[in-house]
Structure 1
Amino acid sequence: MPEGDTIHQAARRLHTALAGHVVTRSDLRVPKLATVDLTGRTVLDVTPRGKHLLTRIEGGLTLHSHLRMEGSWRLYAPGERWSGGPGYQIRAILGTAERTAVGYRLPVLELMRTADEHKAVGHLGPDLLGPDWDPGRALDNLLATPERPLGEALLDQRNLAGIGNVFKSEICFLLGTTPWLPIGELSAETAARLPALSKKLLEANRDRPSRTTTGRDLPGRRLYVYGRAPHPCLRCGTPIRKAQQGDGSRDRPTYWCPTCQRGPAP
């Protein structure tokens, strides 16, 4: 599931493959970009911002993409068979003489002036893996609505950028609180731990092929709670529970241990 750690990995792969190379094939398969041709322009860099990808291209242009739940960028060598899904799911193709980047199932794809990137990502809070990371500002953002459930506050990218459903559930477990606890009810000590813990988890997984929050690289043991219902908690043995969180407009599966985590829950 794409979150801040995997977006940084994707940006690094794309940057290594494309930056400094001239686009020899350009195909943007969304209606508003159907006539755009980027061939002949050089890719300058690929930069992550929270869960967004910014591919900057010669001429002051930026191709902005967001993967959400199912999108992906795949890289292929010349002649290599594309295997990211059926052709009708392809939304973008950026090819150079040496590599071709193919974007599958991209729910967000837009071309903008690089000077206007703020229109796409300017609303984001401090990026947990970015140069703008500011733990104090992130905590102030989170505590600005003390009545809001902790899990929802963590997912709000305006507070801090990079956390998705997986890290939300894992952070709440490690703090010992349910995702439904109003964030204003955290103890001062727990609240103070929150930004540093969040950053630590994402940084620990920024370069890992398999995400883990337990420190174990074994199937079924990499995460404390996410995706583990109804298996026993790795700490206490209580069956992990699962419920949806939020207003129902998005799929927000949330996992927690009813013994290890205090606070309200469905």
Structure 2
Amino acid sequence: MPEGDTVFRTARRLEAALAGRRLSVSDFRVPEHSTLSIVDWMVESVVSRGKHLLIRVKPPAKIAAPPLSIHSHLLMDGHWDVYATGERWRTPAFKARAVLGNPAFTAVGFELGFLHVLRTTDEVEVIGHLGPDPLGHSWDPDEAVRRLMSSPDRPIGLALLDQRLISGLGNIYRSELLFVTRVHPRTPVGAIEDLGHLVDIAHRLLHANKDRARRVTTGTDGMNPYWVYGREGLPCMRCGGLLHKDTLAESPRSAERDVYFCPDCQNVYVPTSETAH
């Protein structure tokens, strides 16, 4: 699933191609909005909020309608591509869910996880639950720590994926962040000595990659861009021990998510006698 840095870059590409221009093409290929046309509407801005993307449009003066926001989420396979108008698409047209264009550029959303159009004033209904975004202008590390600490007994490996606590992190950043900070994925949030440091590293990792076409967490754009993610059974680049993969789920009925770690660098949390009772 695309993570916060990918959505941030997508928003920036769409902003460069669409913002400040009136739409000459408007084609929504989802049943809910198939009859909606926003031709001649002005694209005011494109922003990301965690893993969510918002394209804000304003009607021309002749149309008595409120500004709208096109809200999309990429989920596993979705992506927005930008083409020079008339350029051949690289993905089959039947996978397109939205097409927005002006005389110079065409933006196409393929296989989007979901696509909704709502009043811009109602954005809080779809993104108001999100936690602080490390790539957002209003990033608040203290609020991120406060939200994470709201469930001190929850394993940090689960808490980091909860978009209500801190938004934009997925499986890759979760694994890499915990390795860099030497925290085992099953450690309870409340047992982490310096949660503020972990939150700060999350902010640094996303910012380091927001301008890169290829995500790198090891600091070198070489053979191994990741410390642990996807490297189960391979030697740890820090200690030489073999890396492991575990699965975490909120409950027996919840979907399991893979997390990668080094059992030697990231010691298993062992509760003291006081915390065990």
Whether TM exceeds 0.5 here: the answer is yes
| Structure 2 match to 1:5 | 5
TM-score (norm 2): 0.90
Specify the alignment match of 1:227 in structure 2.
230
Q: SS of the counterpart of 1:203?
A: helix
Letter paired with 1:112 = L
Q: Could you tell me which residue of structure 2 aligns to residue 75 of structure 1? A: 82
Q: In structure 2, what is the equivalent of residue 179 of structure 1?
A: 185
In the TM superposition, what is the alpha-carbon distance from 1:194 to its structure 2 partner? 1.4
The offset of 1:242, in angstroms, is 1.6
Deviation for aligned residue 1:86: 2.4
Match in the other structure for 2:264 = 259
Displacement of 1:163 in angstroms is: 0.8
- Partner residue of 2:103 out of 97, 110, 119: 97
Q: Distance in 2 between matches of 1:7 and 1:135?
A: 20
Q: CA 1:23/1:215 → structure 2, altered by over 3 Å: closer, same or farther? A: same
- The answer to whether residue 248 in structure 2 is matched with residue 245 in structure 1 is yes
Per the alignment, residue 15 of structure 2 pairs with 15
1:86 aligned to which of 82, 86, 92: 92
CA displacement 1:76-99 (0-9 Å, x = unmatched): 11221101x322211111111111
User: What are the superposed Cα offsets for residues 92-148 of structure 1, whole Å, 9 maximum, x if unpaired?
Assistant: 111111110010110110000000000010001111111111111110110110111
Q: Which segments of structure 1 move beyond 3 Å, counting only runs of 4 or more?
A: 247-251
Range moving further from structure 2, 243-252 or 171-180? 243-252
Q: Which amino acid aligns with 1:238?
A: G
Shift of 1:264: 5.4
Q: In 1, distance between residues paired with 2:231 and 2:145?
A: 29
* Matched ranges for 1:1-266 at <5 A: 1-59=1-59, 60-83=67-90, 85-187=91-193, 190-219=194-223, 221-247=224-250, 249-250=254-255, 252-263=257-268
- The amino acid that maps onto 2:102 is T
Question: Normalising by structure 1, what TM-score?
Answer: 0.94
In structure 2, how many angstroms separate the alpha carbons of the residues matched to 1:261 and 1:69?
Answer: 28
Residue 273 of structure 2: aligned partner: none
CA-based RMSD:
1.5
Counterpart amino acid of residue 201 in structure 2: L
How much has 1:151 moved relative to structure 2? 1.3
240-249 vs 176-185, which moves further: 240-249
**In structure 1, how many angstroms separate the alpha carbons of the residues matched to 2:192 and 2:119?**
42
Amino acid at match of 1:90: A
User: Cα distance, 1:244 vs. partner?
Assistant: 2.5
Bigger-Rg structure (1/2):
2
1:13-53 per-residue CA deviation (whole Å, 9 max, x = no partner) reads 00000001111111111111111111111111101111111
1:139-193 superposed Cα distances (whole Å, 9 cap, x missing partner): 0110110111101111111111111111000111111122111111112xx3121
Distance in 2 separating the partners of 1:184 and 1:171? 17
- Secondary structure of the 2:212 match is coil
> What is the one-letter code of the residue matched to 2:238?
R
What is the aligned residue count? 261
Structure 2: 5+ residue runs without aligned partners?
60-66, 271-277
CA distance in 1, matches of 2:42, 2:197: 43
Q: Helix, strand or coil: the match of 1:163?
A: coil
